[in-house]
Chain A
Amino acid sequence: MSALGRQRWLGPAMFLPAILYVVALVGVPFVLAFLYSVGDVKVGSVGYHFVGLSNFASVLQNPTFRRALSNSFVFTVSSQVLVLVGANILALALKNAFPGRRFVRFLILLPWVAPVSIGSIGWKWILDSLYSVVNWVLIRLHLVNAFSPPMYLGEPRLAMISVILVHTWHMLPFATVIILAGWTAIPRDIPEAAAVDGARFFRRLFQIELPMMLPIINVAVLFGVIFTFTDMTVVYILTRGGPYDTTQVLPSLAFFTGILGSDLAEGAAISLFLVPLLVIVAWLMLRSAHRAEVT
């Protein structure tokens, strides 16, 4: 084969294995999820019957599902808002060197780096109904009643707040680190020019520096939304979706229905409700990446 001919198939030969692998293990299941959701598949079932949208209909009528759908949005939006504010403040505190910065960075990274299941079980112990250290402190400070302290994982409202806070705790380091990278990308003389132009700290921050970092903050938020919206681990470990399914989210409900409940079709239908959000986020990411390339 001529040298040029050899060249031309080298590229595809090098990347096709990876692409095929990913297509097989992501693309195929993706299609199958759609097929299951409009069929009647159960664990152990052999045939396949098309049932149209009846799975979706039954899912939508289920109040637990509607609760899970609303929870998914509430948890994601709340935790991401908290993460956004917190990560910006923390990044501001970390961007200039100070003694011990490396150690602080290591410390604040731990919630993201440790497996989220490990972090969640750690929080489960901290929020334990009997032995919670939080309650111990609050009782000592006379802020709560020693005989009926708050059940952080046992009361619906508190359980929701707990889930939101654990998500925030888990995602904060990731956003912080990305926003820190955004800070280092601002050329030094632009904030200086703003200072000479008469802008003090907060005006500089809100009118010059943060707007310049918007593309990067975008990236952090979009990733954060995806990771939080599609996560089932925190809910599964903290509350198992309880008390009484009040903290279920779409992914955890899909798990309980499809795997533990063996109703693959209905589980698939539930999990498909994740897709619209993913599509929107992917589109937003592509758009901001395209804009970044244009500049």
Chain B
Amino acid sequence: MAAGLRARERLGRAVHVATLLFFSVALGFPFYWMVITSFKRNPDLYNLKNNPFVFNQKPTLEHLRLLFGETLFVRWLGNTLFAGVCVVAITLLLAVPAAYALTRLTGRWGGRLGIAIFLTYLVPPTLLFIPLSRIVALLGLQDSLWAIIVVYPSFTIPFSVWLLMGFFKSIPRELEDAAMVDGLTRFQAFLKLVIPISLSGILTVVIFTFTLVTQEFVYALTFISSAAHQTVGVGVPIFLVRGDVYYWGSLMAACLIAALPTGILYNLFLDRFIAGFTVGSVK
């Protein structure tokens, strides 16, 4: 009887490891592939007889040199960073007070308004981009980073408000009540008490807003036409070509550089993110 139990346990563990291995490979392989391709010499890369999984010639930094020296990649990184910072600033300025007001100052319909705001997050860019392209042109913002700086908060604000509402709800009201009894106004309590306590929540919003900016594709593709003004998400897949030819080595290096920082940051703040999506469904 004991032997049967041990055997069952061992089988279970083997299945467990196999499952993890399968998914790790299935989901992670493209990134491993990016690493290999980024450092392989072209003759090695484009030789069908070579084993693609290993370096048959010595690895090279040629693709990286090409990427940083002869393409607009660095420019795109700068553009994305600049847009990200501006969008984060706008989002914080608007979303933090809004989330606080909807949590504390509005009673039951405040919660409903919060849900309504979150629902706007579901309205996809692929529905709005056609009218927005016209609005952007009318405002004279076409082919400029300012187009996306102005438009992106339309989806980062709803998401951030939702995240922050969940966060503010967990702060006990008594804290601000005590502050107001001590003589502060509600707004002062908000600035001097609630915001400092919520720094980790605000940091979470900063991270996620930034990643939303870097992940966005449709608006950037639609509003910005010249390569020099593009962001990384559009520049890399669309503009790292000469005619019909993709420079895969540099392209994969660019992908790696574009993907990893957000990956690491996101992983650190994952739990908050889940809380934002599942508040209300999980009791």
Contacts and interface: CB of A to CB of B under 8 A. Distances in A.
A69 interface: no
A248 to B, nearest CB: 13
B94 A115 contact: no
Interface string B26-37: 111111011001
A259 interface: yes
A266 to B, nearest CB: 10
Contacts of A258: 129-130, 133
A107 to B, nearest CB: 4
A84 B30 CA distance: 21
Contacts of A60: none
Nearest to B97: A14
A216 B23 contact: no
Interface in A255-283: 255, 258-259, 264, 267-268, 271-272, 274-275, 278, 281-282
A93 to B, nearest CB: 4
Contact of B129 (A89, A104, A113, A259): A259
A264 B130 contact: yes
A65 interface: no
Nearest to A135: B48
Q: Residue among B100, B131, B255, B259 with the most chain A CB within 10 A?
A: B131
A230 interface: yes
Contacts of A211: none
A152 interface: no
B24 A104 contact: yes
A130 B153 CA distance: 42
B30 A126 contact: yes
Nearest to B154: A25
A122 B30 contact: yes
Chain B interface extent, by class: 35 or more
Contacts of A117: 217, 233-234, 236-237
Given A107-B28, A115-B258, A264 B134 contact: yes
A223 interface: yes
Nearest to B104: A11
Contact of A216 (B158, B267, B281): B281
B237 A21 contact: no
Q: Is the interface of A mostly helix, strand, loop or mixed?
A: helix
A222 to B, nearest CB: 9
A11 B97 CA distance: 9
Interface string A164-182: 0000010011000110111
B88 interface: no
A232 B101 contact: no
A254 interface: yes
A108 interface: yes
Contacts of B37: 125
A272 B278 contact: no
Top-10 shortest CB links A-B: A11-B105, A251-B126, A230-B124, A114-B259, A25-B154, A32-B131, A18-B98, A14-B101, A14-B97, A29-B131
Interface of A: 6-7, 10-15, 17-19, 21-22, 25-26, 28-30, 32-33, 36, 41, 43, 86, 89-90, 92-94, 98, 104-111, 113-126, 128, 130-131, 133, 136, 169, 172-173, 177-178, 180-182, 185, 215-216, 218-219, 223, 226, 230-233, 236-237, 250-251, 254-255, 258-259, 264, 267-268, 271-272, 274-275, 278, 281-282, 285-286, 288-289, 292-293, 295
